[in-house]
Amino acid sequence: MLLLMLLLTVLGHGVLLLSMRELQATWAFRHALRAGEAAEAGLWLAVEGGASLPEERTPWIPHVLVSGETPDGITFRAVLRWLDDEFFLLEGVGGSRGWVGERRAGWVGWSLHPLARLAAFGAAAEVRGAVVLHGEARVEADGFREPPEGWPDPLCSGYEEVLDSLFPGGTLPALGPLPELQPEEIPDGDSIPHLGLLRGAELLERAGDGGGSESGSGSLPADAAWGCPQGSGPPAFLGTPDSFYLEQGRICGILVVGRDLRLAGDARVHGLVLVAGDLHLEEGAALEGMARVGGGLRLADAALFRSSACPVLRALEEVSVLKEPLLAGDGARINAF
């Protein structure tokens, strides 16, 4: 009887230890699950909450964007580390009170950097199709470091050191080929030249978010200066999925066109132009800045294309909706660990 009681005691003690271990495992799983969800929550709070990206882009320095704790003991935070000037790692970290471990989840993202975008250009006008000049039309590259006509010199003088570092040769060629994308990189129906990871559809959407969407043909008053230094407000950011025609007035900033762009008469554009179709300059119209053209570049009469870095840098720096973070595709998702 004593031996039987001893065996039953050992068996009962073993069941008790097993139950305690199962309880510990259950609580550990609960803590891990809560911490994993907290890590995901930290990521989405940083993304959906519109947390501002740090201006300092030194690689791998941690920047805490979101941090907090719930009343029931769940802790969360989102940490951003720059991988280079534009790509970053967004890391969500979650914990649970009473558990020494933590869970992490991450996503690779991208945010436009003006200097990196300017350095990506191989020519002031990158054109996929033919370049045709008629009459007294001109293409000039000598003014790449100079401000556009009518701009005050001090507005562009701050870019001299930057341009020296980006272009040791002093300037960019005026004309060059538009880099070809792989077919899988081009969404259906999206032929607008890209700007970093910003494809045509994304550019048009952000132009609409910024209140600058335009369509069809039209003109500004002859003395209008939309987004130009003499006017008020930031650089213009305009986009249309259709063709666009302008015969007078001035636009300074970024113009995105889903078909053809035609500038005629007294029309002036200072800045960056992204055109899916052909770019036509006629009857004395002028484009001073840089361009990416999916079709051909055609200049007639006394039209002028003059390369100029200053209005492009100004636009890329001051159009804030372009610098909003863009999370990379599903292939860049880092599972929780």
Report yes or no: 291 and 271 within 8 Å, Cβ to Cβ: no
**For the segment 29-71, what is each residue's pLDDT rounded down to a tens digit?**
888 888 888 988 888 888 887 778 888 899 999 999 999 998 9
For residue 337, pLDDT over 90 is answered with no
For residue 14, pLDDT over 90 is answered with no
Q: In which residue are the tokens 């990416």 written? A: 292
Of the chain, the percentage scoring pLDDT greater than 90 comes to: 31
Q: In which residue are the tokens 């992204």 written? A: 274
Q: Can you give the pLDDT at residue 232?
A: 55
pTM, rounded to two decimals? 0.81
What's the whole-number mean pLDDT along residues 322-333?
73
Report yes or no: 127 and 178 within 8 Å, Cβ to Cβ: yes
For residue 233, pLDDT over 90 is answered with no
**For the segment 158-197, what is each residue's pLDDT rounded down to a tens digit?**
888 888 888 876 778 889 998 876 544 555 556 889 998 8
Q: Cα(308)–Cα(312) distance, rounded to whole angstroms?
A: 7
Rg of the chain on CA atoms, in Å: 28
Closest CA to 286 of 301, 235, 155: 301
For residue 254, pLDDT over 90 is answered with yes
SS (H, E, C) 244-312: EEECCCEEEEEEEECCCEEECCCCEEEEEEEECCCEEECCCCEEEEEEEECCCEEECCCCEEEECCHHH
- DSSP 8-state code for residue 215: -
- Alpha helix stretches (DSSP H) within the chain: 2-48, 114-119, 154-157, 160-166, 200-209, 310-318
Q: Can you give the pLDDT at residue 306?
A: 93
Q: Cα(7)–Cα(272) distance, rounded to whole angstroms?
A: 86
Q: Can you give the pLDDT at residue 137?
A: 86
CB neighbours of 276 closer than 8 A, spacing ≥ 6?
A: 191, 192, 193, 200, 257, 258, 259, 294, 295
C-alpha dist (Å) from residue 169 to 165, 166, 186 = 10, 9, 33
